[in-house]
């Protein structure tokens, strides 16, 4: 890979570092949460993507109630997306996910159910995964049409695990949208080292997140370590997926490896390579035209996958 970092993103990363927003992680969890929330509100800019309506609701889960925020599109297309926000399983909330949820709803004409899943370290794995699955069941019973699970970063990792649960226990999914997913608590892929210093997300950040989310004894659990699920040949029958990666992301290779493993198991997969981009680019469209375009391409790929009359194309068909 020889692409250079997008100049607009490079300038934005320099500004974020100079203004004290980076690193994402902090010594104390409460401080990291405040920083991430404030940063998310800065990143989304002043223009709010319009939708027809927004309201909060409560999902009754097996061991906890889960708050969700439902976005109704202006032009509905009988698609529901259950959205899991990023934030390393430790930070983030419905407000930090608001811009992404609005964008998904308006672009796809989808009802979006954004999930305020429980956070680590107070609620480590599998609590966030259980909340996501409960939200999927609730959305399936509440809304008609095609059902998608999706998310970015840690949320994409939860979405991938929830897709495994949905395959075995319902509800039936029509697609997955995995934007630069976090899938490997062993942090053993080459891009972790190659992009250890980011920009934006670093290997040190990921180590901080994983230590709080997954107890050491659970790091081979195939519902959180998707590489282990692939090794155990547990990926057949999953819903078709769009997997998007970023060139300068420490998580790049684990996303690519999981997409390849799903394809080998017969799962229809579309892979997008975000050349010149960094982790988190879906939320950086206000500072980078390239980031905005790549985020749009991911949503277009999902729309095409859902519209396909037969099995979706397999492998790296979108480059």
Catalytic residue among 249, 253, 273, 288: 249
Complete edge-to-edge strand list for the sheet that includes strand 146-152 = 53-60, 65-72, 111-115, 79-84, 146-152, 175-179, 241-246, 269-274
Q: Are 81 and 306 in contact (CB under 8 A)?
A: no
Q: Name the packing angle between helices 127-142 and 154-169 (round to 10°).
A: 60
Location of structure tokens 């995995």: 178
Longest dimension (CA), the chain: 50
**Distance (Å, rounded) from C-alpha 106 to C-alpha 92?**
22
Residues 6+ apart with CB under 8 A from 235: 229, 261, 262, 265, 267
In 78-212, beta strands by DSSP E: 79-84, 111-115, 146-152, 175-179
**Distance (Å, rounded) from C-alpha 91 to C-alpha 32?**
7
CA 294 to each of CA 50, 125, 192, 313: distance values in angstroms, whole numbers, following the listed order: 21, 31, 22, 19
- Residue 288 designated active-site: no
Q: Which two tokens stand for residue 4?
A: 């250079």
**Distance (Å, rounded) from C-alpha 232 to C-alpha 201?**
29
Q: Are strands 111-115 and 65-72 parallel, antiparallel or unpaired?
A: antiparallel
- Residue 279 designated active-site: yes
- Residue 249 designated active-site: yes
Catalytic residue among 114, 153, 223, 288: 153
Q: Are strands 269-274 and 241-246 parallel, antiparallel or unpaired?
A: parallel
Could you list the active site residues?
Answer: 153, 249, 279
């Amino acid at each position: 890979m020889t692409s250079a970092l997008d100049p607009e993103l490079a300038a934005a990363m320099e500004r974020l570092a100079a203004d004290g927003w980076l690193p994402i992680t902090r010594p104390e969890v409460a401080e990291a949460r405040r920083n991430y929330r404030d940063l998310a509100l800065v990143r989304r800019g002043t223009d709010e993507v319009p939708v027809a309506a927004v309201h909060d609701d409560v999902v009754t889960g097996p061991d906890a109630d889960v708050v969700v925020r439902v976005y109704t599109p202006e032009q509905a297309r009988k698609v529901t997306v259950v959205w899991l926000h990023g934030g390393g399983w430790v930070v983030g909330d419905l407000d930090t996910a608001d811009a992404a949820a609005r964008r998904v709803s308006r672009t796809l004409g989808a009802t979006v159910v954004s999930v305020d899943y429980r956070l680590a370290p107070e609620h480590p794995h599998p609590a966030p995964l259980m909340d996501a699955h409960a939200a999927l069941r609730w959305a399936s019973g509440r809304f008609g049409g095609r059902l998608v699970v999706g998310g970015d970063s840690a949320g994409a990792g939860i979405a991938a695990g929830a897709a495994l649960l949905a395959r075995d226990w319902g509800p039936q999914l029509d697609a997955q949208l995995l934007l630069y997913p976090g899938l490997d608590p062993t942090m053993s892929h080459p891009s972790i080292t190659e992009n250890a210093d980011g920009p934006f997300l670093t290997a040190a950040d990921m180590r901080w997140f994983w230590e709080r989310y997954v107890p050491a004894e659970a790091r081979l659990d195939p519902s959180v370590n998707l590489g282990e699920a692939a090794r155990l040949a547990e990926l057949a029958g999953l819903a078709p997926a769009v997997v998007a990666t970023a060139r300068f992301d420490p998580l790049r290779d684990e996303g690519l490896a999981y997409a390849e493993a799903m394809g080998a198991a017969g799962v229809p997969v579309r892979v997008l390579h975000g050349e010149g981009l960094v982790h988190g680019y879906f939320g950086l469209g206000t500072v980078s035209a390239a980031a905005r375009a790549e985020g749009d391409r991911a949503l277009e790929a999902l729309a095409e996958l859902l519209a396909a009359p037969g099995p979706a194309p397999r492998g790296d068909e979108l480059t």
